Amino acid sequence: MFCFQCQETVGGKGCTKVGVCGKTADLANLQDLMIYTLKGISELGVKADEIGYEMPGLDRFIMSGLFMTITNANFDKERFLKEIKRGLRLREQLRKALQERGVDLRDLKDAATFSVNSDDDIVFKANNDKERVGVLATKDEDIRSLRELITYGLKGMAAYAEHADNLGYNDPEIAKFMRKALAATLDDSLTVEDLINLTMETGEYGVKVMALLDEANTSTYGNPEITEVEIGVRNNPAILISGHDLRDLEDLLEQTKGTGVDVYTHGEMLPAHYYPAFKKYDHFVGNYGNAWWKQKEEFEKFNGPILFTTNCLVPPKESYADRVYTTGSTGYPGFKHIPDREDGKAKDFSEIIEHAKRLPAPTEIESGKIIGGFGHAQVFKLADKVVEAVKSGAIKKFFVMAGCDGRMKQRNYYTEFAKALPKDTVILTAGCAKYKYNKLNLGDINGIPRVLDAGQCNNSYSLALIALKLKEIFNLNDINELPIAYNIAWYEQKAVIVLLALLYLGVKNIHLGPTLPAFLSPNVAKVLVENFGIGTISNVEDDIKMFMEA
Ligand code: SF4
Ligand code: SF3
């Protein structure tokens, strides 16, 4: 195996024996073969696009195939075997359809033509075809770096596209771009420059997909609004829902209504509380615990069943493993998996609900409230107040500290950074990075809280809209003239698409931490430094000085 797609990769270089995330070598190889299969399907898909042929189910398959390979999403080898076989069937159907339409299919690559006769064949190819399958199959380190940067961006894009699709929102242009970009990563004729351009285009589609998901979420559930979220517990049996999928949450809330079972959020599901549509459920109690990496201790104490709708899932402790359910792109061997919805009907969560009824109420681990809900619409409503505070000097600077949280000790930097920021600064956040400072009670500036949480990582789009709005209000030519600094924490591939989207929007001088991605080769990193001023972090004191002076 070789995997370096996340921030916690071994030695900041690559996981080669087993993943820090818990991914075994054979699972990692199967995930690589899944991606390889998607690339091959996409090569045919591009040809289909050229003649305007659409194959039903193709967009969704590519989306969920990519999504399943995101860090901490799916650890289930059986599921990958099943999906690879499904992919090969789809690929064959597509090939036939194109052949019938007279499309020239002579120069297809191995990814679009390899065949297997059994599960063993699949496993054999995944483990042995190192010249073609996997990250290291690309020998040139700059080409490899760009191919992977694009692929990881596509994984994040796919995740957001799937959430939008679950709410009935999709954009065929986004799916078409995914096919084009996946196929391009197989194309040896593309130069470094071509791939840099494609990376920027990936950012452009990143903006589109986040706009689409924003539209899907806000049209379906209303605009996030200022909300106090309870972090203590009640005395009823309960289900803990984690991940990012709001449609799954809606189905669960509907089905738990009147059952005596409460629902709490964990990790990235916290921002669901900010949506008006979810406030009508009085059994939707609050948020339990913190970011994903604290799940082992927190799930043990929760006592009830846990539902994963997306990443980040950590291999469980035995003490609670029998209480964990997965759905959508997530999976883990031995966990119950709730099947996808059919014909738009709700998923069936009855088994989890019955399970919850047999278990005790959660053990309280915290008490009090946290505040959030500062999506673009809510912040625009406060615009006068914000602008006045900037003009009067009450707010000197905004710090975008969106992104991911993670296990590394070094990430305490973000807690210390938030504490040490001058009192006339405001943190704009989104994603699970917020758990490093959202319970610190950092106070407010003329009624504006010093931590403004826009929501999940995909809601980083809101932060971009807020910046663009401020640029308009202050009549500036360039978004970089605003008093906004970017100190972003990353972990998995959704952060990659958010980063590429910000770069596409022209945001400069983003600092990424706690370490730069291992998949950036020195030359690719140099391009990002020279053209976009990308930097990393050093220590709290020097960094605050640097940001405040910039
Ligand atoms: Fe290693 Fe991260 Fe890949 Fe897991 S996802 S194998 S931790 S690089
Ligand atoms: Fe967190 Fe996994 Fe990235 Fe959506 S839940 S931000 S790490």
Residue among 425, 419, 424, 457 nearest 438 (CA): 419
Backbone angles phi, psi at 364, to 5 degrees: -70, 130
Question: Would you say the ipTM is above 0.95?
Answer: yes
Q: Kindly state the average pLDDT of the residues 30-55.
A: 98
Q: Is the pLDDT of residue 470 over 90?
A: yes
- What pLDDT does residue 161 have? 98
Q: What is the 3-state secondary structure (H, E, C) of 127-168?
A: HHCCCCCCHHHCCCHHHHHHHHHHHHHHHHHHHHHHHHHHCC
Q: Is the pLDDT of residue 343 over 90?
A: no
Q: Is the pLDDT of residue 500 over 90?
A: yes
Backbone angles phi, psi at 198, to 5 degrees: -65, -30
Pairing of the two strands 262-265 and 425-429 = unpaired
- 372 sits in which H/E element: strand 369-372
Q: Is 485 helix (H, G, I), strand (E, B) or coil?
A: strand
Q: Kindly state the average pLDDT of the residues 148-157.
A: 98
Q: Kindly state the average pLDDT of the residues 252-265.
A: 98
Paired residues of 425 in beta bridges: 397
From the CA of 20, give the closest atom in ligand 1.
7
- What pLDDT does residue 538 have? 98
| Rounded distance between C-alpha atoms, residue 300 and residue 287, angstroms | 16
Residue 511 assigned to a binding site: no
For a substitution probing ligand 1, which of 2, 3, 31, 148 has the most ligand atoms within 8 Å of its CB?
Answer: 3
Tokens of 332: 């883990």
Q: Kindly state the average pLDDT of the residues 84-101.
A: 98
Q: Is the pLDDT of residue 364 over 90?
A: yes
pLDDT band at 411 (very low <50, low <70, confident <90, very high): very high
Q: Is the pLDDT of residue 488 over 90?
A: yes
Residue 392 CB partners (closer than 8 Å, separation 6+): none
- From ligand 2's centre to the CA of 442, what distance in Å? 23
Residue 229 CB partners (closer than 8 Å, separation 6+): 270, 273, 286, 287, 369, 370, 371, 372
Each residue's pLDDT tens digit, 172-224: 999 999 999 999 999 999 999 999 999 999 999 999 999 999 999 999 999 99
- From ligand 1's centre to the CA of 9, what distance in Å? 5
Residue 77 assigned to a binding site: no
Find the ligand nearest to 2 CA.
1
> Is the separation of the CB atoms in 431 and 457 below 8 Å?
yes
Q: Is the pLDDT of residue 272 over 90?
A: yes
Tokens of 70: 């995101």
| Rounded distance between C-alpha atoms, residue 304 and residue 323, angstroms | 7
Q: Is the pLDDT of residue 550 over 90?
A: no
The better pLDDT of the pair 550, 169 is held by 169
- From ligand 2's centre to the CA of 37, what distance in Å? 26
- 65 sits in which H/E element: helix 58-68
| Rounded distance between C-alpha atoms, residue 532 and residue 524, angstroms | 12
Q: What Å distances lie between residue 235 and 106, 269, 536, CA to CA?
A: 66, 21, 45
From the CA of 406, give the closest atom in ligand 2.
7
Question: In whole numbers, what is the pLDDT of the chain averaged over residues?
Answer: 98
From the CA of 28, give the closest atom in ligand 1.
6
| Rounded distance between C-alpha atoms, residue 442 and residue 451, angstroms | 7
Paired residues of 306 in beta bridges: 240, 324
Q: Kindly state the average pLDDT of the residues 442-466.
A: 97
Find the ligand nearest to 519 CA.
1
Q: Kindly state the average pLDDT of the residues 326-340.
A: 97
- From ligand 1's centre to the CA of 133, what distance in Å? 17
From the CA of 267, give the closest atom in ligand 2.
5
pLDDT band at 318 (very low <50, low <70, confident <90, very high): very high
**Phi-psi region for residue 208, left (φ > 0), alpha (ψ -120 to 50) or beta?**
alpha
| Rounded distance between C-alpha atoms, residue 150 and residue 525, angstroms | 14
- What pLDDT does residue 344 have? 83
Residue 330 CB partners (closer than 8 Å, separation 6+): 73, 74, 243, 308, 309, 310, 311, 313
pLDDT band at 10 (very low <50, low <70, confident <90, very high): very high
| Rounded distance between C-alpha atoms, residue 347 and residue 329, angstroms | 14
Residue among 105, 94, 83 nearest 33 (CA): 83
Q: Considering the chain, what percentage of its residues have pLDDT values greater than 70?
A: 100
